[in-house]
Structure 1
């Protein structure tokens, strides 16, 4: 009897009042499957749950893509693929035994970075629960995502060893440390990754080459650290164990580093928004997994052309060398829409991709030993709240906050006491070797719902904790011109809300060095480099910038190409077109009365417009009265707001359409397979 394992039920089945997640249907009763622990007494919600984070306004600027450096985002080396092909026939079975075969194969694929998606997601991060707190629900990167997208094993021994090596393992560790120290005698005086590859690839596939191969893989693609570009001695003990077929829970350490760096990135955005004056931020977690997670979940953010996954290839091959440039404002609008999110993308079958066995056609209860290295044992670990032990951090893992990502129903989650006093205590919260895990594996096309009380709790509690995310506009010019452009701008109120131009207008301005986007009193302005903007002086001496449309500048440029007149005549034409664009419906005949005064004394000098009275802008040409001009500007701003709202609605419709097409394709495949049977 003493050898019997204690049963631990991870999923609870009971009848409850359910509400459809999408839609406003009436509550209905049915049997639900909920991920433990669930809060039993609804009156204890405030006392049991962790204190909600303070509601904050998170500003995200385009400058953040140049001030945030993702050092853990490593591209494959030139010789890396050849090295993998060389050792795979020898050590493939050993890699599969230790659970790292898919992870090594995944490191040969190139995942391109799309910083707007990363920054947009980080703005919604909730450090209290390690989840993305979207306006419609919560979601997060789970151990299931790291296991499928990264290929890392969930089950196995802890990353850190409790005792020193003995016997052969000790001898191999000493031999590898001696090899590592030889690089200190080279002219580089460090174990440079390129030099390391060249040295160890010349060996004949012996055990030292294998350990050197695993050391490089761990240093570059799994656990990178400062300084960049070297093979660290800290990975040698891990590589030695993996070379002997020891299974190590690498997924927990990788996910812990992602949680840690997402919290750091969120705090960074909260403090300065990644503005041009912000300090540089270096992150070491493998954010390529987050990039793929966003592509898998948000259909509207995916690259248009996806790769075909051949039989036996990891799922990461789907995203190899794919990219899609996105506006940050578009990313935020997509993430605010509930219909653009896919809860279980891995349950949708792909051609030739081997789907894990825990994605069942029909739901069933499963019992699995906590120490089992099969797929069901790995999936059971993904369902249990615990502490994640990383190389230099301990993070809390709360999957019951996002039960719908596992195909289960969502109820109010209960609090879980931290066990992070030491890495040993944290690992014990994750280790279930002495327990028999029982859980429900839902049908892979099961539609999860939420309980009625969760719906009420969400609207009155969690949604009030969500951050207000805003996009801060920056210049559409190279970063080196930012400071020079800033000095040319008129004074701007600190802390003022800034918005992007609409997507279509922004496309016209990208990659043009002679334009900058600034914001004065919530008015979007396009400013030509070297030309001070016109100002109007209202009653009381307040100066405001007037909007100059993109079409106005494009018209000026077109006229410049056609015109073969002198420089003064070109500037005179620019001024006439600008005045016509500024005055709205003013007859162009009045502009022909403009005198032959030197243009530089008038067009480039805002003081010339200081006397902006009720009827005239300048004696050279007439316009409507000032009130009419301001009215036209107000109508133009309202029209821009309406266009922006319509574009946001169109983005939501496109996301819904792509999601429905994906589901329809999956349903048709299921019907074909059932008819064949």
Structure 2
């Protein structure tokens, strides 16, 4: 698909985001929970002892190549031809209802190398539902996929970031209820591991690794930041040994990467490390 459609992906602003999908971030639950403990649902930010910080639209663009520019993902399709494409994809989805094969696997096997109509749109629908807006393949992503395939630039980052904020708040509230031993609506105790979280929370983990030097595992070998998105340097790496996550988070204020800058040549580099004092200034 890349060999055929990469010019379209570049113009539509999704090439970097698509390339970032090949990387796998090993989940560090201790780090995620340590961050969520400091999450404020009111301000959508982390309230650290040394100051306030949060994942931003710029982070989504630099870490995962997810576009911050373009029309809204909720923009309706504008022509009968595009609506017809959406109906085609929806009819294809309906054929899988009731089958035991998982939604994504069945979709992939149905379209890959099939030379069927709208194979590109089907591929983008799978990508969106698996890596951008994790969900079952369906109507919400079809119109987005069709627009992107027609070289329409859409601002994906705001909606992705909003979903991350939502899930961080849901996880924080569940952690509060679990710690206070308040039962759920059905009378059972809250199990935070069984929450239905649909956002790409691995971006929060990578954000922490990028910003808090003391938490960083060893970066991936042979990673060239010029040729890919920044998340690639954390491909398949994980924290070795046992560390006290809470202590490391709370002591990260002395040196904290506050920004990442883009040079004119397109290369991404860290700015100087900024010292933050105890008041967060």
TM-score range relative to shorter protein: 0.7 to 0.9
- Give the structure 2 partner of residue 187 of structure 1: 99
Give the match for residue 318 of structure 1: 233
Alignment-derived partner of residue 114 in structure 2: 203
Question: Does the CA-based 8 Å contact 1:193-1:216 persist in structure 2?
Answer: yes
- Structure 1: tracts of 5 or more residues without a match: 1-86, 360-406, 408-443, 460-677
- Residue among 144, 147, 166 paired with 2:79: 166
Q: How many residues align?
A: 270
**Aligned mates of 1:336, 1:115 — CA distance in 2:** 17
Aligned match of 1:232 in 128, 138, 157? 138
SS of residue paired to 2:46: strand
Could you tell me whether the CA contact under 8 Å between 2:256 and 2:273 is conserved in 1?
no
1:306–1:322 contact (8 Å) kept in structure 2: yes
- Pairing partner for 1:155 from 69, 73, 76: 69
Q: Select the structure that is richer in strand.
A: 1
Residue number in structure 1 paired with 2:90: 177
Deviation at 1:341, TM superposition (A): 2.4
Q: Does 1:223 align with 2:108?
A: no
Name the CA shift for 1:449/1:207 in 2 (closer, same or farther; >3 Å).
farther
Give the direction of change, closer, same or farther, for the CA distance of 1:307–1:232 in structure 2 (3 Å limit). Answer: farther
How many angstroms apart in 1 are the aligned matches of 2:155 and 2:92?
Answer: 27
- CA gap 1:294/1:348 in 2 versus in 1, 3 angstroms: farther
Residues 116 and 447 from structure 1, CA distance in 2 versus in 1: closer, same or farther, beyond 3 angstroms?
Answer: closer
Q: Distance in 2 between matches of 1:207 and 1:257?
A: 32
CA distance in 2, matches of 1:286, 1:274: 27
Matched, 1:271 2:177: yes
Cα distance in 2 for residues equivalent to 1:305 and 1:165: 45
* Counterpart contact for 1:258–1:287, Cα < 8 Å: yes
2 CA distance for matches of 1:193 and 1:265? 26
Equivalent residue for 2:245, pick from 331, 337, 347? 331
Paired position in structure 2 for 1:246: 152
Q: C-alpha distance in 1, partners of 2:103/2:180?
A: 31
Structure 2 residues not aligned, in runs of 5+: 182-187
Partners of 2:233 and 2:274 lie apart in 1 by 25
* Structure 1 contact 116–326 (Cα < 8 Å) conserved: no
**CA positional deviation for 1:241:** 0.7
Deviation string 1:390-412 (CA, Å, 9 cap, x unpaired) is xxxxxxxxxxxxxxxxx9xxxxx
1:401-420 correspondence runs (5 A): none
The answer to whether the 8 Å contact 1:180/1:233 transfers is no
**Root mean square deviation of aligned Cα:** 2.9
Which of the residues 106, 120, 125 maps onto 2:39? 125
The structure whose RCO (Cα within 8 Å, separation 6+) is larger is: 2
Aligned mates of 1:164, 1:306 — CA distance in 2: 41
Helix, strand or coil at the partner of 2:254: helix
Q: Indicate the SS of the match to 1:138.
A: strand
Contact 1:307 1:317 (8 Å CA) reproduced: no
Q: 1:165–1:182: structure 2 CA closer, same or farther, 3 Å change rule? A: farther
| Alpha-carbon displacement from aligned partner over 1:174-233 (angstroms, at most 9, x marks no partner) | 22222222223x633x771111111111323x65110110111111111123xxxx4223
Kindly indicate whether the alpha-carbon contact (under 8 Å) linking 2:255 and 2:274 is maintained by their aligned counterparts in 1: no
Residue by residue over 1:323-357, the C-alpha shift from the partner in whole angstroms, topping out at 9 and shown as x without a partner, is: 115657x111011111242223x3499xxx9425x
CA distance in 1, matches of 2:50, 2:113: 55
Are the counterparts in 2 of residues 114 and 326 from structure 1 also a CA contact under 8 Å?
no
Pick aligned residue for 1:142 from 51, 56, 64:
56
Q: Which residue of 1 aligns with 2:13?
A: 99
CA distance in structure 1 between the aligned counterparts of 2:222 and 2:37, rounded to whole angstroms? 32
Residue 277 of structure 1 and its aligned partner are, at CA, apart by 5.0
User: C-alpha offsets along residues 622-664 of structure 1, whole Å, 9 cap, x if unaligned?
Assistant: xxxxxxxxxxxxxxxxxxxxxxxxxxxxxxxxxxxxxxxxxxx
- CA drift at 1:256: 0.2
Please state whether the residue corresponding to 1:198 is helix, strand or coil.
helix
TM-score (normalizing by structure 1): 0.37
Instruction: Give the 3-state SS of the residue equivalent to 1:197 in structure 2.
Output: helix
